[in-house]
Each structure stands twice: as structure tokens, then as C-alpha cells.
Chains A and B, each alone.
Chain A
Amino acid sequence: MTERMPGVVLNEGGPWGGGSGGNESNEPKRPWGSGGPRRRPGPTGPSALDALIRRGRARLSGGGGGGRHPEIELGGLWRWAVLGAFLLWIAVTSTHTIGPQQRGVITRLGKYAGTLQPGLGFSLPAPIDIVTKIDVDNIHVIDIDTGADGAQGQNLMLTGDENIIDLAYSVRWDIRDPELYLFELADPDGTIKEVAESAMREAIARVTLNEAIGARRSQIEARVAERAQEILDRYHAGVLIQGVAIKQADPPSGVMDAFKEVSAAQQTAQSYLNQAHAYATQVTAKAQGEATAFDKVYEQYKLAPEVTRQRMYYETMEKVLAKTDKTIVEAQGVTPYLPIQPAQRPQPAPQGK
């Protein structure tokens, strides 16, 4: 087909007619005829073109008369070009590669006409069938952060006990039903966000602040996901909520200090308890030690009471008197056997007697 093209273009009747040697002598009036002689001897371009043209013409118009075929050949060129473009257009617009996470929704002149599964899919060409590729399994994430809107850069919500919480969360969803997703809602993405937000506020309004901050977070997440799904199903949104995750649940920044005070108080209380337990261990251990020591001594004492008693007395006196200054006075007359030396003491201490 491509081989024929030059032959078609450079024919004698057309405006480009000067191509072949034979014609030139017949029609010398052409404005570009003068170029002919110069071109003729050239062994390159023109002659090669000429050969090609001649071959093409021989093949195309073997038996036909000279007068008619120019128009046919001119029309033929355009026909081939248009046909080629047309075929290309059909080929491009009627085959579709659908990715593994995609579905292709076909609308035939506006009417829904089926869904293409992953792989190579076929439809009628473009103006008739239009294929919209939709990411089905791709999980979309909507983040609703603190500071997205609301007061002082926070996402404040009222809890069931009329307290206020600052909440950030994200919603994950994908498309379950591409047709519904395409045709049913005017603004599916915005709808999902609004529904999630409404469901979240509803759930938060049913729990207390402490529950929302701590213990029941996962329960809230599950409830919001379920509720949002329920509402979206009612809208026929064709969307599947994969999950809701609370990223942050804090008291608002204005009251944060008071909350810190609570945890500080918890620490303080705990330290009181720790100290008490330390004291308790000490006291009871001491009691046990002393009691056991006494019991041991008492056991021996019972075996020989008088002797043990005397021994202990003397041992103690020995210990006491060995390291103290001793003065023995006669009761009457006050004659010291040993000198009293109060000044020798390393440091003055209150005197016992």
C-alpha cells in the first residue's frame, strides 16, 4: 500500500505533474518546467523517484485510459489515509487494557452496557462506546486531621458527657460497585467524607471523654465504620468502608495542662504508695528479725535461766563500762576512787547525772 502512494501523488494530470520525463516535453509552459533539465541527469533522488513512480503507475493503471485515472488516484490517496486513520481510531478506542485493580465501565451512547474485567477488553469504537476505567481495589484514604477546620486549629467534637475532644482520624475505602460509584452520586468522594464525619460525631456523642481518649477507641472505630457503611449503602454509593482509624484523641489544647495535672497526681499518688510499701517492708522485716533473735535467745535462756541472765548482764555491763569513763563514789563522804574527767571528752555532751 505504501509503495503505491508516490505513484498516486505524482501523476501527470495533477498539479505536481512534472515528475516524469515524458510529460515535460509535452507541456513546456509549466512554471517549474525549467527545472527539468537540471534534474534529469542527476542520478540520485529524482531518478530513483521516477523509477518508483513508473513502477507504481504500471501496476496501478495497466489497462486504464489516461484521462480518468487522475481523479481516481487522487481520491484513492485520501481514501486510504482516511481509512487508515479510521482503522487506527477503531483499533485504539475499541481495545482496552484493564489493570488488575481496575474495572472498565462501558457506556454505549450513554447507556450502561457492561463492565470490563482486568485484562484485555473490547468494546465498540469510541463515539459509541465509552469506557471509563475505575480503580476498584485501590484503597483511598481520607484524612480528617486536627486543624482541618474548627476552632484554633483543632477538630473539636462534643462527647456524651458534654466535654470536648480533639480528634484526628482517617477513613479507608474502596469501590465495591463501579457502576453505582459512577452513576449514583453526584459527588461520591465528598459524600464519603461527610458521612464519615457525621458518623464519627454521632459515635463520639455516645461515649464519655475518658472512654473516647482511652479504652473504647477501637470500639468507636468499628462503630463509625459500620454506621458510615450503612448510610452509604442507603445512598447506593457502591463504596466499601475498609476501616476507620482514630489517629489522635486528645483533650483540647486549652485544657491539656489540667489533664497533665491528673497524670502528675497519679504519679504522686503512686510515689506515696511506693514509699509506704518500702516503709512496710522495712518495719515488718525489722520486727521479724528482732522477734526471731529474741526467740533464739529465749530458747537458750529457758535451758538455764539464772546463768544466762547473769551472763548477759555482765556482758552488757562490760561493754557499756569498758568504753565509758567510770567514777565510783562512796555513798557517804563522796570519795572518788577514780578521777572525774569531764573536760577530756572529745565533745561536750549533755550529762546524764
Chain B
Amino acid sequence: MLRRNLLWWAGIALVLLAATAASLAVVPETRQALVLRFGKPVRVINAYHPGETFGGTGAGLVGRVPFVENLVWIDKRVLDFDMQRQAVLSTDQLRLEVDAYARYRIVNPVQMYVAAGTERRVSDALKPILGSALRNELGKRPFAALLTPERDVVMGNIRNALARVAAQYGAEIVDVRIKRADLPDGTPLESAFNRMRTARQQEARSIEAEGRREAQIVMGEADAEAAKTYAASFGKDANFYDFYRAMQSYRTTFGTDDENPRGAASIILSPDNDYLRQFRGSRR
């Protein structure tokens, strides 16, 4: 009899537990819970408020009416979606492949639930908007402007355009950012490479020429320096220099220098030669 009692109690406890479980829900910090009463949104638990601190939000154990209220979970965190790479034509007819991402947060779960249903569908809805906003905005600018700090302005404009649409889905755009802006593969990339290549070749040539010029100047300066040295020294007595240098020159040209024995020569002398003056027994 006692055993049957125990079974009864256990059964009652189980039912009670199930009822409690059905009427309670654990809401984590990372999620918002939209409460639907027979399909009609009635309230939001743990909704996002800017500036709130963790521990002070609506997260935790919450009650609900079992079997009457349904919970729809919506992410509370910052979500993101990537845009597919897109070719964008700038005003100067250059193509650029652009890659962007957006970060957003669901700030109005009711609106989001009504308009889209799930976060994924919000992303899907916003993606093409981001693409077209990007193309519109970048298409108004010349290619070079995309590489300048003007990018900030561009991104700001795109963000504003996207934010208007996102608001309809109960989402708030946290940030839009151009990740990459590249030249498309094939001809545009190849021609850019070609331009770089020729620029380098030109640089190489000019560096070489410059080197040659400098070398020439150095050599000229050395020659001038030498001439100056010679002039300063030899200029003291041009007459003697003429003699001195002639003597040196004779030694060199007649090959009698020890260093240069190849130039051995025959010399035919006239007895009138100055050298042979004494040879003749001083006729003069």
C-alpha cells in the first residue's frame, strides 16, 4: 500500500515538474525571446537596450503561461553577413571587384519577426540592398577616389542607405565596411601589372643613366683636380718644365726605361748634335 502511495506521489511530482518546466524558460544573455500568445506577439524578454550591462539585462529564469505562450528565440548579439564579390564600374570606366560586410543587431524583435521571421532571412533580405547601395555609391566616383580617405564617406553613405532598409526589419546596422577592392582578374589586372613593370623598367634605366652621369662627373673632377695640381707645380717655371718633361719623355719613348724595354730603337746622330758637341773635340 505504501508502495502504491509512493508511486502516486512520484507521478504527481512528475506532472508538477513538467508543468513548472513548461511555465518557465531560461533566457541566456545572448538571446532575446519573443513571446507569442496563440501566435500573437505579446512581449519581448531580454530585449536589447544600448548601454546595458550583463547581469542587469532581462536574461535569466522567466515565467510563461504553458501551452498558451510560445517563445521565439532571436539572437541578441551582433550578427554579420558578407556580400558576394561584386564588380563595380567607376566613373572613369574602370572595373573594381568589391567585397563588403555588414554588422547588424536585431533591436526590434517584434518587427523582425513580423517582417522576416528569422535572422537568416533578414540577412538574405539585406544582402542585395548592400550590393546595390555599394554599386550606386562607388559608381559615382572615379577609381582613384576609392583608394583615398574618401572611402570613409563612401562607407558612411552606404551605411545610411542600408540602415533605412534594416529598420524595416527591426535591425540596426552597426557597421558597413569595404573589405577588399581589387582589380578583376584578367585584362585589368594584367594591364596594371604591365604598367608597374614598365614603370620599374623606366626606373631601372634612369638609375643606370644617373649612375653613369655621376661616374662621369667624378672622373672629370679628378681630371680637373689633377690638372690643377700639375699647373700649380709646373707653372712655377714653364721653361724648366719643358726641359724636365722632355727628358722624361725621351726616356719613355726611346724605351730605355727599365720598365719598358720593348721600345729599343736605332738612333742616327749627326755630329752636329748637341750631345756630341764634346765628341767632336769642341769645335764650337
A109 and B241 contacting across the interface, CB-CB below 8 Å: no
Q: Are A111 and B230 also in contact (CB < 8 A) when A162-B147, A201-B180, A269-B212 are? A: no
Chain A residue with Cβ nearest B179? A198
State whether B29 touches A268 (Cβ < 8 A). Answer: no
For the complex, would chain B's binding face be called helix, strand, loop or mixed by DSSP majority? helix
Complex contacts, A111 vs chain B, CB 8 Å: 27, 29, 55, 57, 59-61
Q: Is the CB of A317 within 8 A of B275?
A: yes
Q: Which residues of A contact B149 (CB under 8 A)?
A: 206
Q: A112 near B55 (CB under 8 angstroms)? A: yes
B256's partner among A186, A288, A309, A319 (CB-CB below 8 A) is A319
CB contacts (< 8 Å) of B60 on chain A: these are 108-111
A71 to B1, CA, bound (A): 11
Nearest A-chain residue to B178, judged by Cβ: A198
Q: Which residues of A contact B6 (CB under 8 A)?
A: 75
Within 8 A of A (CB), among B103-149: 103, 143-144, 147-149
Whether B20 is near chain A, meaning CB under 8 Å from some CB there, is no
User: Per-residue 0/1 for A99-141: is the Cβ within 8 Å of any B Cβ (1 yes, 0 no)?
Assistant: 0000000011111111000000000000000000000000000
Provided the pairs A231-B175, A324-B266 are in contact, do residues A280 and B78 lie with their beta carbons within 8 angstroms?
no
Q: Known contacts A291-B230, A298-B237, A346-B264; decide if A109 and B26 are in contact (CB<8 Å).
A: yes
Query: Which residue of A has the minimal Cβ distance to B217?
Result: A276
**CB-based nearest A residue for B3:** A71
Stretch at the interface among A19-27, A53-61, A259-267: A259-267
> Cα distance A308–B210 when bound, in Å?
51
> Per a CB cutoff under 8 Å, which of B55, B77, B221, B232 touches A113?
B55
B185 within 8 Å of A (CB atoms): yes
Query: What residues of chain B lie closer than 8 Å to A157, measured between beta carbons?
Result: 180, 182
Q: Which residues of B contact A231 (CB under 8 A)?
A: 175, 177
- The interface-forming segment of A83-91, A189-197, A215-223, A241-249 is A189-197
Is B233's beta carbon under 8 Å from chain A?
yes
Distance between B91 CB and nearest chain A CB, rounded to angstroms: 15
Chain A interface residue count, Cβ-Cβ cutoff 8 angstroms: 109
**Chain A nearest CB, measured from B143 CB (Å):** 8
Q: A201–B244 contact, CB under 8 A?
A: no
A272 touches B179 (CB 8 A): no
Complex partner residue of B268 from A162, A164, A279, A328, CB under 8 angstroms: A328
Given A158-B183, A276-B219, A324-B265, residue A265 in contact with residue B207 (CB < 8 A): yes
Is A270 positioned at the interface, with any CB of B under 8 Å from its CB?
A: yes
Check if A80 is an interface residue, CB within 8 A of chain B: no
A291 to B217, CA, bound (A): 23
* Partner of A110 from B61, B75, B254 at Cβ < 8 Å: B61
Q: Which residues of B contact A (CB under 8 A)?
A: 2-3, 6, 26-30, 54-55, 57, 59-61, 75-80, 101, 103, 143-144, 147-149, 151, 174-175, 177-183, 185, 189-190, 192-193, 196-201, 203-205, 207-208, 210-212, 214-219, 221-223, 225-227, 229-230, 232-234, 236-237, 240-241, 243-244, 247, 250-251, 254-256, 261, 263-272, 275-276
Given contacts A259-B200, A322-B256, 6 further A-B contacts (CB under 8 A): A151-B189, A280-B222, A294-B234, A313-B275, A328-B268, A329-B270
Closest 3 CB pairs of A and B: A269-B211, A280-B222, A287-B226
